[in-house]
Structure 1
Amino acid sequence: MIEGVSEKKLIKHVDDRGYLMELLRDDDGLLERFGQASVSMSYPGVIKAFHYHRHQDDIWFFPSGNAQVVLFDLREASTTHKETNVFFMGEENPVLLLIPKGVAHGYRVLGNQPAMIVYFTTSSYRREAPDEYRIAWDDPLIGFDWTTKHR
């Protein structure tokens, strides 16, 4: 796994009314500090990739739908520099994923339903000086093949 990336298995507490699931607690030790929580919905087949941050860490969670999440380590001093990780996240696999600063990240919505992502960052978004740097979804540096392989 890419150095600095953490995955937290989530626990659903279910009863006859539905379920409760704690996503992120201040005592989980995942974020140095908490900056912002956001939510976004994407339609089936949409690819949102890639971007990275120089100063903030992200935590991603997909409460509905399913997604293929791809990470690429851009950090030259990392022991996992230029390594790629793929995670399948969503309703079928409820996990939190910590994405450290300097790791490019993106996702593709899987299946026939939209996917919703809830994400938390260590800094709030600043429109006048955004800490967000884009890389094309098909950039040859990353070289990721987004097609689904059938057996």
Structure 2
Amino acid sequence: MNLISDVITRSFVTHPDMRGELTEVYRASWGACNAPVQFNLVRSEPGVMRGLHMHRFHADQVMMVSGRALIGLVDYRPDSPTFGVADVVALQDSDQMVAIPVGVAHGFWIPAGGLMLYGLDVEWSTADELQCRWDDPDVHIPWSRYGDPHPADTEGGPLLSARDRAAGTLATMLADFASS
């Protein structure tokens, strides 16, 4: 069960036979969010943190092709019944997907490395990208909920992109979101 309104998780059904298996990962009839118009395949080394990011215009549908990721989520939509609620969804080896709506901040903690596929319902643009530090003291994502190591407890801290290392505060991100 998700704590955040409009965040949808869907378990996949795999159909095995003597040749291998087929797993359906998207059907428009599932209604998770709008149909993706762009797909990205992202490989992460062990100990990678991606985010915290939030989007003005596009929703994401995320799944792990291989490996494990913890998807940290915080609802910053002012009119949402779950405004301010934080949650973590664990994704592993093509078992399920999570749909993340506009205005829900998210970060991807990949403790042991993995391959992620995500679809966007609007093509990516820098104008749509908001971010803050994953460890901002006002962000309270329960990263250790499933027994995985907390990103701050890894030797040297998580591996971050230059953009994520330079990210500003949660307050700045929320002000930018409110002005869009």
| C-alpha distance in structure 1 between counterparts of 2:28 and 2:90, whole Å | 25
| C-alpha distance in structure 2 between counterparts of 1:70 and 1:27, whole Å | 26
Alpha-carbon distance, 1:145 to partner:
5.8
Residue identity (%): 30
| C-alpha distance in structure 1 between counterparts of 2:16 and 2:35, whole Å | 30
Alpha-carbon distance, 1:133 to partner:
0.5
| C-alpha distance in structure 2 between counterparts of 1:77 and 1:108, whole Å | 28
Q: Tell me which amino acid in the other structure corresponds to 1:32.
A: N
| C-alpha distance in structure 2 between counterparts of 1:7 and 1:70, whole Å | 13
As a proportion of its length, which structure holds more helix? 2
Alpha-carbon distance, 1:141 to partner:
2.0
The residue that corresponds to 1:132 in the other structure is 129
Q: Tell me which amino acid in the other structure corresponds to 1:5.
A: V
Structure 1 gaps of 5+ residues are: none
Q: Tell me the C-alpha RMSD between the 2 structures.
A: 1.7
Structure 2 gaps of 5+ residues are: 151-180
| C-alpha distance in structure 2 between counterparts of 1:20 and 1:11, whole Å | 9
2:46–2:110 Cα contact (<8 Å) kept: yes
1:48–1:107 Cα contact (<8 Å) kept: yes
The residue that corresponds to 2:56 in the other structure is 54
Q: Tell which has more relative contact order, 1 or 2 (C-alpha 8 A, sep 6+).
A: 1
| C-alpha distance in structure 2 between counterparts of 1:30 and 1:146, whole Å | 24
- Please state whether the residue corresponding to 1:27 is helix, strand or coil: helix
As a proportion of its length, which structure holds more strand? 1
Report the count of equivalent residues: 144
Alpha-carbon distance, 1:81 to partner:
0.7
| C-alpha distance in structure 1 between counterparts of 2:27 and 2:103, whole Å | 24
1:76 to 75, 78, 99: 78
Q: Tell me which amino acid in the other structure corresponds to 2:15.
A: H
- Please state whether the residue corresponding to 1:4 is helix, strand or coil: coil
1:37 to 24, 36, 39: 39
The residue that corresponds to 2:8 in the other structure is 6
For residues 10-54 of structure 1, the C-alpha deviation after alignment (integer angstroms, 9 at most, x for no partner) is: 011112222111111122112234321111010111111200101
1:138–1:144 Cα contact (<8 Å) kept: no
Alpha-carbon distance, 1:76 to partner:
1.4
User: TM-score with structure 1 length normalisation?
Assistant: 0.88
